[in-house]
Structure 1
């Protein structure tokens, strides 16, 4: 059974390992992940310990298998990680559904996120859940020492229009 819950302070190590495994898979098209593994581990550990109150965890049969964060507690999904061994089991969909509900419950009308453009699996997942690519940018990544093409995706969660053109009278 799939269950979504808020993170607990003691979840740090397991969430770090999930994030690290998912990060390695997502970064495989970029390469050089072995050289960055220690830095990535530290970054995940520090992030989770500092921002654990912004993290939502997805479990299956009591085992934590993924997590997402909204670091700024706004409409931006800053992190979304599912353990690669647990993909295509509905965990990501359940987690995304809860994150989107939280975004709407907190008064925001859309959800947004970004990833590198080579992360086809993640882009496909979010597009299959109604997200659209709205921008493409190339940013320099000091850790990778290279330019990294990045895409921004978003989805309108609240329909504010009545389907008519112009102001209502």
Structure 2
């Protein structure tokens, strides 16, 4: 059974580990990670510890399987991580639907997120759920000491506007 809840202050270690495993999988698909693992581990722990109030957790049969964050409590999904051992079980879809509902209920008409342009698994997941790529950017990342390409995706929430001109079109 899928259950979605708010993160709790004591979830830091567990959520950090899930985020790290999901990040390692994504980075392996891109062809990097080993040299950055220690930094990523620290970054996840710091993020979760500082932002647990903005995190939504998905569980399956009482076991935490993933989490998403809206760090700014706005329309932007800043983090979205499903433990690789729980992939393709509908948990990401359930979590995304909850996050989108929260965004819409808080008055935002669009959900947005960004990811590494080589993270084809995540891009495909979000496109399958109605997101479209709206920008491509390359920005220097001092931690990696190189340029990193990213894509921005977004989705209109709520009723769809009719296409065409005038009544009946």
CA distance in 2, matches of 1:36, 1:99: 29
CA distance in 2: counterparts of 1:19 and 1:58, whole angstroms:
13
Q: Please report how far the alpha carbon of residue 144 of structure 1 lies from its aligned counterpart in structure 2 after TM superposition.
A: 1.5
1:82 alignment partner in structure 2: 82
Q: Structure 1 unaligned runs (5+)?
A: none
Q: Partner of 1:99 in structure 2? A: 99
In structure 1, C-alpha distance between the alignment counterparts of 2:40 and 2:95, rounded to whole Å = 23
Q: Say whether residues 1:10 and 2:5 are aligned partners.
A: no
CA distance in 1, matches of 2:5, 2:18: 16
Task: Supply the RMSD in Å over aligned alpha carbons.
Answer: 1.4
Distance, in Å, in 2 between the alignment partners of 1:122 and 1:163 is 29
Alignment-derived partner of residue 39 in structure 1: 39
> Displacement, 1:142?
1.4
Q: 1:134 and 1:54, CA in 2 relative to 1: closer, same or farther beyond 3 A?
A: same
Deviations 1:108-147 (A, max 9, x none): 0000000001000000000000000000011111122111
Structure 1 residue 8: deviation in Å? Answer: 0.5
2:134 maps to which residue? 134
Q: Normalising to structure 2: TM-score of the pair?
A: 0.94
Unmatched tracts of structure 2, length 5 or more: none
Is residue 32–residue 144 contact of structure 1 (8 Å, CA) maintained in 2? no
| Number of equivalenced pairs | 166
Q: Give the aligned partner of residue 144 of structure 2.
A: 144
TM-score, normalisation: structure 1: 0.94
Cα displacement (A) at 1:30: 3.8
